[in-house]
Amino acid sequence: MKRSTDALLVIDAQNDFCEGGALAVQGGAGIMPLINRLAERFETVIATQDWHTPDQISFASNHDGATPFTEIEVAYGPQMLWPDHCLQGTHGADFHPDVAAAVQKALAVVRKGYNPAVDSYSGFFENDHRTPTGLAGLLRDRGVTRVFLCGLAYDYCVRFTAEDAVREGFEAVVIEDACRAIAPDTATAAKASFQALGVVEIEAALLIG
């Protein structure tokens, strides 16, 4: 199934998204060894990393009376508010220790969400859907035509990265059992979006046996 023009995108495999972190996704730590095994099978591996400043617009703590997991309207549209997470240079922003092998193999780490005025879910664009991260150009320079996605969280950063991959002209494949979701309703919405856009979903066993 795999081709030389494939790349593996490891999405936000960070401490704050795993058990004990500020924005923990249930089962997050458990997928890290699987991500390492997947990375062994790819020539091109790229990781993304949430890299926020304390004044990030998406932090509920920066809006008087706001609570996490509620939405507000900002200049670029609706924005979910989150607990403070993945602050630059903190343990929470570090990659989970159990995914070290995949990160060490990564050709590049694409940091996102460092502009305090705009949140960033996708590895390709900030949430204004206009400001690029440089990932698309990096992939094209490597001759990549298809990306496989794994990591956290399935219903946010994996979803938006996969959607933007398709919009940028790449084939996108989500390795479903190498991701974990924040909530069932948003996971269902992500799955419907993938079907509508032609994003393929597979199990890791198809790649690693």
Tokens 């500020």 sit at which residue?
A: 22
Q: How confident is the model at residue 2 (pLDDT cuts 50, 70, 90)?
A: confident
Cross-strand pairs, 59: 82
Task: Work out the angle between the directed axes of helices 184-197 and 159-167 (0-180°, nearest 10).
Answer: 10
d(CA 168, CA 127): 15
* Catalytic (active-site) positions: 12, 112, 157
**Local structure of residue 96 (DSSP, 8 states):** P
What are the tens digits of pLDDT across the range 86-133?
A: 999 999 999 999 999 999 999 999 999 999 999 999 999 999 999 999
Do 39 and 102 meet the contact criterion of CB atoms below 8 Å apart?
yes
Q: Say yes or no to pLDDT of 23 above 90.
A: yes
Give the pLDDT of residue 3. Answer: 84
Picking from 146, 209, 149, 152, the residue whose alpha carbon sits closest to that of residue 186 is 152
Q: Say yes or no to pLDDT of 1 above 70.
A: no
**Residue 176 carries which side chain, given as an amino acid letter?**
E
Give the pLDDT of residue 90. Answer: 98
What are the tens digits of pLDDT across the range 52-76?
A: 999 999 999 999 999 999 999 999 9
Do 84 and 14 meet the contact criterion of CB atoms below 8 Å apart?
no
Which runs of E-coded beta strand occur in 52-170?
Answer: 71-74, 77-80, 108-112, 146-152
d(CA 202, CA 207): 9
What's the whole-model pTM score?
0.96
Do 106 and 49 meet the contact criterion of CB atoms below 8 Å apart?
no
Other residues' Cβ atoms within 10 Å of the Cβ of residue 20: 10
